[in-house]
Structure 1
Amino acid sequence: MSYTVNCSTLLTEFPLLERPARAQQAGFPAVEFWWPFSTAVPDDADIARFESAITDAGVQLTGLNFFAGDMPGGDRGLVSWPARSSEFRDNIDVVVAIGEKLGCRSFNALYGNRIAEEAPEAQDETAVENLSIAAAAVARIGGTVLLEPVSGAPDYPLLTADDALRVIGRVAAASAAENVKLLADFYHLAVNGDDVAAVIEEHAAEFGHIQIADNPGRGAPGTGELHLDAWIARSRELGYEGFIGLEYKQLTDTAFDWIPRAARTPLTREKEEQ
């Protein structure tokens, strides 16, 4: 199995820049991050320190979020936020440069909450424009823009796979972009009441990425009631070949007890063949 550790939700007892090395020490060769900076366009020195943390640890960066605003404060992305559209666009070149430097090709664009002073239609138009621009930019390095349904954010409008797929369809119609894909986070889909098994049957081969956590509690697999093993296996059977992102929340002492160390190390088929 090809796992990648989300270092924004796991290993959080350690400073952010220590987490790639901690993941490697735990037996994982790949990591992913939410946007690891407080601004859309960080200082060059901060970027260099982040890049060195990845390369010095000897891990592969498999996923990186675009800047999503103040996440602890409740923001969930800038893609559909007209007043901050330029901020999102300024962030795109930074994301692409990091991706090119570190060999990362998957970039998650959180859609953004509904804004009271903006019409939903205007927000959706802004989102299509921004996703089209982002898709064209990451295409230069062979990248994919990911779009995900999210739970636990009352004003976030993408709750189901169909919600995200409708936006992806609009982007494709507007710009002919073929590199905007669904991020199938099985935890978020399940919490929002989506039929995860049905989503897999219909769309697994088109998934841009899978992330997992168990429910209730958003803990490690096996701490809840979700059929994560079966869902992953079926996604593989239907053609999904990418990484499985470990985006759950659990203290490091027990975070990886559910998976034998020998099962943590294989990379994706593409990586193995290089």
Structure 2
Amino acid sequence: MSEFTANISMLYSDLPVDDRPAAARRDGYDAVESWWPWAVGVPSEPERERWVRGIREAGVSLTLLNLWEGPAESGSRGLAGIRHAVEAFRSSADAGIDVARRADAPALHVLAGDGGEIGTLVDNLAWLSTRAPDLRLVLEYLNRHDHPGYPLDSPETVISVIDRVRDEVAGARIGMLVDTYHFGRAGIPLSSMVPYVTTHVSNIQVADSDRSCPGEGTYEVAASLALLVRCGYTGPIGAEFRPGTGVPAPGDLRRIFAMPEIYL
């Protein structure tokens, strides 16, 4: 059954990265997801162990870890599709594999990078699928308004890349992250994902317009999410939004979505 997970990078952005898992647990979350916690692509051994220990000691599970986006000053939104950054991507990806395995996380979110090329992205995904066959790789569509240079600029492009990787690597574990914010920003109905719910969609993240808490904006998040769940989606549902007056507990989110029977 689906469960709400806390995106600790967004819900607790005001806290040090090592303190965020415990904060999520205090707010009632049993599971969390996270952006890459470090400013560098290959953090030191003590840094990795300290962060993973925070996950364990908080008593939460890690459902998804973003790979490194690249140097902050570059604003690159990832490296997996950048032809001249293959070595940097793969070095950091190895660190990500290590962290995910230590934390017993099942999935890595791979970011293609602004200006990235689909061919390079597919090559790196095929390499990563072979390198870490025990982990699921996750790709996300980003809307063109906010990310005009991002190569995964439509849901159809993401589906196509997933299919190419599956063709190249037998048994590749790769899926799509559906973020309600990006679909709403582009005016794409989430119902368009119904045919792919059980074949391609592996993760969902929820946010309303302006990255607000669902129910506070203008997007039809609740009804759309209900449709995907009723059509067979059973994966995690990441709360990736900017909290207003406070972080809602999982029970609060169930009430917002008016679908308690789906999650209990």
- TM-score, normalised on structure 2? 0.89
Q: Secondary structure at the match of 1:254?
A: coil
Q: Distance in 2 between matches of 1:55 and 1:83?
A: 36
Q: Give yes or no for contact 1:136–1:177 (8 Å, CA) kept in 2.
A: no
Measure how far apart 1:21 and its partner are: 0.6
Please tell me the root mean square deviation across aligned C-alpha atoms, in Å: 2.4
- Return the letter of the residue paired with 2:87: S
What CA deviation, in whole Å up to 9, does each residue of 1:67-95 have, x standing for no partner?
Answer: 11135652111011011111111122222
Letter in 2 for 1:210: I
Quick check: 2:107–2:136 contact (8 Å CA) kept in 1?
Answer: yes
Deviation at 1:241, TM superposition (A): 0.8
User: After the TM superposition, which of the residue ranges 165-174 and 80-89 deviates more from structure 2?
Assistant: 165-174
CA contact (8 A) 2:158 2:176 kept: yes
Name which of 118, 124, 128 aligns with 1:134: 128
Unaligned 5+ runs, structure 2 = none
Q: In 2, distance between residues paired with 1:97 and 1:239?
A: 31
Work out the CA distance in 1 between the residues paired with 2:121 and 2:228: 28
Query: Contact 1:161–1:194 at 8 Å: present in 2 too?
Result: no
Structure 2 equivalent of residue 119 of structure 1: none
C-alpha separation in 1, matches of 2:132 and 2:188: 29
Q: CA deviation at 1:263?
A: 7.3
Q: Deviation per CA, 1:39-98: give whole Å up to 9, x if none.
A: 221110110111111111111111101111135652111011011111111122222222
* 1:156-197 deviation digits (Å, cap 9, x = unpaired): 121221111111122222233531111111111221232321
Which residue is 1:44 aligned to? 45
Amino acid at match of 1:92: A
Give matches, 1:124-163, under 5 Å: 124-139=118-133, 141=134, 143-151=135-143, 152-163=146-157
**CA apart distance, 1:29:** 0.8
* Residue in 2 that maps onto 1:165: 159
Preserved contact between residue 126 and residue 165 of structure 2 (Cα < 8 Å): yes
TM-score by length of 1: 0.86
**Residue in 1 aligned with 2:89?**
88
Contact 1:77 1:111 in 2 (8 A): yes
Q: Which runs of 4+ in 1 moved over 4 A?
A: 261-264
Residue ranges of structure 1 left out of the alignment (5+ in a row): 116-122
% of aligned pairs identical? 29
Which of 237, 250, 267 lines up with 2:243 in the alignment?
A: 250
Among 216, 227, 246, which residue is 1:223 paired with?
216
Q: Match of 1:8, SS?
A: helix
Equivalent AA in structure 2 for residue 148 of structure 1: E
Q: How many aligned residue pairs are there? A: 256
Q: Is the 8 A contact 2:129 2:169 kept in 1?
A: no
Q: Distance in 2 between matches of 1:212 and 1:256?
A: 13
Aligned to 2:115: 114
